Chains A and B, each alone.
Chain A
């Protein structure tokens, strides 16, 4: 194999790192985000380099606040960025829709990461549709290298046309690492020039201005298309976008079947065509909204069929169907509406190969299904027995486990309903805890517990959410519950971090994302200020105290709050280890089958019995929290003295 040209520095960049470097290269000055998989590493990368490049970056309390922070920076004239996952844009949609009318001054880019699959999200929503709804341009990178280039272009487009621009990578861009020809930009040596917010009625939305700006936004659509067209972001593929020397694709340009791809689908289609030994051109769309259909219609002249390959919703396909209809062109279009491709999940070679083969055969481009001899042969797993699943679980020593256990013990006999929320503690829904009955979205737990209490007042309703989620969207529903005389208990699982997304700081920690000390609010005081009369803070590792608090809290007539505190085990040192006292153990199975700590396992070395198996504690896994020892009714779990 020939080594490729190494004259330009080649670095392995994760898609999210590439987006961060694109923003830095574009001179971004303010970045405000809320973490969410798969978007989080964009802001984390910015934070690592913020001081070097004179960038102000923050973790905001939620996505709405993050976008509004970025808008202020933009209206002052600074380039600004906000990053979130796709469901985060639901939270930020209120400012976004009006921002589309009012426009920007400094370039403003929203990075909204989609998660087809989904791998770690509650929906598979397609942010390109959100862009259509808001009438804003969206860029859809296929690779980390293209994400680097498109991020820089997004700032330029935003500032030129005074509209915010959405960059929509998917998981297979965000979390894919690729070799990219890239050198970090030089660090500024002088302080950057100050920005200045110019007072002007154009920044104050009033109905009269709305009507005017709506017409302006509609008129901008043509300018957006024109801008994209000049830069050929939508193009017949001749080389890897963002890569070095162009290697013209010797394609069969006269093929009767046209193929149009969007986003990461390009990679799968090129791989599939290579596998089939076909050299067909592919028209790739990196800027799907608003789609510039004129060059596409020109390309489709003389074609007999079109296959549109895009994950999730038929955003490109529908715009082309409308354009063809208006042009009186009866070209058949295959994609989502024809049933060729699914709207759900990710694409893959396995999914695309048979579908592409079928259309290629119909077009006379492929002789038979096995033309390239690619019937996939694999080491079969058909003979395997069903394998035990290995789903994520709460860590050994996690304070959420003991709190869920305590509340279940204290209230389940009363048919209590546990409303859950988004965070590590969603894992409380898994066996053996089974301690989460509902999960909807960020901040839903308190509102839903209150809502349930109005229709089912005789059952205890207990809401669980984490500290970061409390600051994100847990405070308004708590005020609402008090105001509307709900009878419910809110448990704030305060583990002193945003654990699920990788331990970002939040307002409850006294430190900013830029590692500066800041005011540390007291959650108990906030709760009291919301009007809650019954509040108690407990140590999440104290099972008896948590159970006592649980009983009192659900007996309280009104809204009660239990704050269960213990640092996430990932951010503090281990406390030691515990062991089973085999003499005292009665094999009741509570620790193994009810408590469900991953450090407690059946002892394989012991002889099989008819009862529960003997158990042991794996010393390397045990955190030393000692909550299992409190759960054991026979005092058979003891601290290992070192």
Chain B
């Protein structure tokens, strides 16, 4: 890695973006890189839109990723991918969990959930990887491991990071009793078809 890499994780409160970002930051730390990670807490667990910013590199000053500066956008939900797509560089990669979670205005009939998200994004972005992370996690044994499936996909686009670094990060951040399920989920994400 020659310069700073900006990775934005976006999703819905309760989807595990913060644990995912901790795994990612742990990996970066293991590589001896500078890490800055910024989260906004507060109401995160109450179903709001959540974003975590991770910047890694030789020397990282700002903890914030500016619009148009994300190398990788990891979206845990379709609408959130759309909401944050402006943060991606034109040559960046977006990883999208194909899950849809309707926000309250949609549920209450005051707004509609956009139907063309995936097609629109594919037309705009150099690399769009859409994965059924929720079903892959469920197959691995726990739907809550959706976040780790997405870390597996992320690992597959960061080939210069050795596989054992990710395994170490999983062990350091996941409770022992869930480790096996999460290893499976990670492998499923890493190997899944694009």
Q: List the interface of chain A (C-beta within 8 A of B).
A: 1-4, 6, 10-12, 37-38, 119-120, 171-172, 175-179, 266-268, 270-271, 274, 348-350, 376-381, 383-385, 387-395, 424, 427, 430-432, 500, 570, 589, 592-593, 596, 598, 600-602, 612-613, 620
Contacts and interface: CB of A to CB of B under 8 A. Distances in A.
Interface in B58-80: 58, 61-64, 66-69, 79-80
B29 A120 contact: no
Nearest to B33: A1
B19 interface: no
A10 B29 contact: yes
Quick one: which of B29, B39, B104 has the most chain A CB within 10 A?
A: B104
Contact of A176 (B36, B57, B79): B36
Contacts of B102: 601-602
A282 B86 CA distance: 31
Contact of A171 (B40, B105, B124): B40
Nearest to A388: B111
8 contacts: A3-B31, A10-B29, A12-B37, A377-B89, A380-B124, A381-B82, A593-B108, A612-B109
Quick one: which of B36, B39, B61, B92 has the most chain A CB within 10 A?
A: B61
B103 A389 contact: yes
Contacts of A385: 114
Interface string B93-113: 000000000111111111111
A374 B81 CA distance: 25
A390 B41 contact: no
A379 B47 contact: no
Nearest to B68: A378
Nearest to A4: B32
B109 A593 contact: yes
A274 B61 contact: yes
A261 to B, nearest CB: 11
Contacts of A4: 32-34, 58
Given A3-B32, A391-B48, A427-B46, 4 more contacts: A10-B29, A379-B88, A380-B124, A613-B109
Contacts of A175: 38-41
Nearest to A395: B46
Contacts, number: 190
Contacts of A171: 40
A379 B124 contact: yes
A388 B38 contact: no
Given A379-B68, A388-B111, A424 B12 contact: no
A1 B46 contact: no
Contacts of B63: 172, 176, 178, 267
Quick one: which of B1, B33, B92 has the most chain A CB within 10 A?
A: B33
Contact of A600 (B37, B69, B107, B120): B107
Interface of B: 1-2, 12-13, 22, 25-26, 29, 31-49, 57-58, 61-64, 66-69, 79-80, 82-83, 85-90, 92, 102-114, 120, 124-125, 143
The 10 closest A-B pairs by CB, nearest first: A378-B68, A3-B32, A120-B42, A392-B48, A392-B43, A388-B111, A381-B86, A392-B46, A390-B103, A177-B37
A524 B1 CA distance: 62
B66 A350 contact: yes
B80 A390 contact: yes
Contact of A376 (B41, B47, B67): B67
Contact of B47 (A378, A393, A613): A393
Given A175-B41, A176-B37, A598-B107, A388 B47 contact: no
A267 B64 CA distance: 10
Contacts of A427: 43, 46
A430 B62 CA distance: 34
Nearest to B172: A12
B35 A388 contact: no
Contacts of A268: 61-62, 64
A37 B46 CA distance: 15
Contacts of A3: 31-33
Contacts of A430: 104
B40 A119 contact: yes
Contacts of B32: 2-4, 6
A348 B46 contact: no
Contacts of B88: 378-379
A332 to B, nearest CB: 27
B86 A379 contact: yes
Quick one: which of B62, B63, B113 has the most chain A CB within 10 A?
A: B62
B109 A592 contact: yes
B104 A387 contact: no
Given A379-B68, A381-B86, A427-B46, A388 B58 contact: no
B85 A432 contact: no
Contacts of A177: 22, 25, 35-39
B2 A377 contact: no
Contacts of A593: 108-109
Contacts of B82: 381, 384, 387
A180 to B, nearest CB: 10
A620 B14 CA distance: 12
A80 B107 CA distance: 49
A390 B108 contact: no
Nearest to A177: B37
A381 B85 contact: yes
Given A175-B41, A378-B88, A602-B109, A393 B2 contact: no
B29 A12 contact: yes
Given A378-B68, A378-B88, A390 B79 contact: yes
A391 B104 contact: yes
B36 A424 contact: no
A389 B44 CA distance: 14
A395 B22 CA distance: 25
Given A378-B90, A431-B108, A388 B103 contact: yes
A380 B86 contact: yes
A592 B12 CA distance: 20
A202 to B, nearest CB: 42
Contacts of B26: 12
A37 B44 CA distance: 11
Contact of A390 (B22, B49, B68, B85): B49
A348 B124 CA distance: 26
Nearest to B36: A178
Quick one: which of B12, B66, B120 has the most chain A CB within 10 A?
A: B66
Given A1-B2, A376-B69, A394 B46 contact: yes
A598 B104 contact: yes
A600 B62 CA distance: 41
B67 A378 contact: yes
B191 to A, nearest CB: 26
B119 to A, nearest CB: 12
B107 A601 contact: yes
A176 B48 contact: no
A268 B55 CA distance: 13
B112 A392 contact: no
A348 B64 contact: yes
Contact of B62 (A1, A271, A589, A592): A271
B114 A387 contact: yes
A366 B36 CA distance: 29
Given A270-B61, A387-B79, A391-B104, A620 B48 contact: no
Nearest to B107: A601
A376 B68 contact: yes
Contact of B1 (A1, A267, A381, A424): A1
A178 B107 contact: no
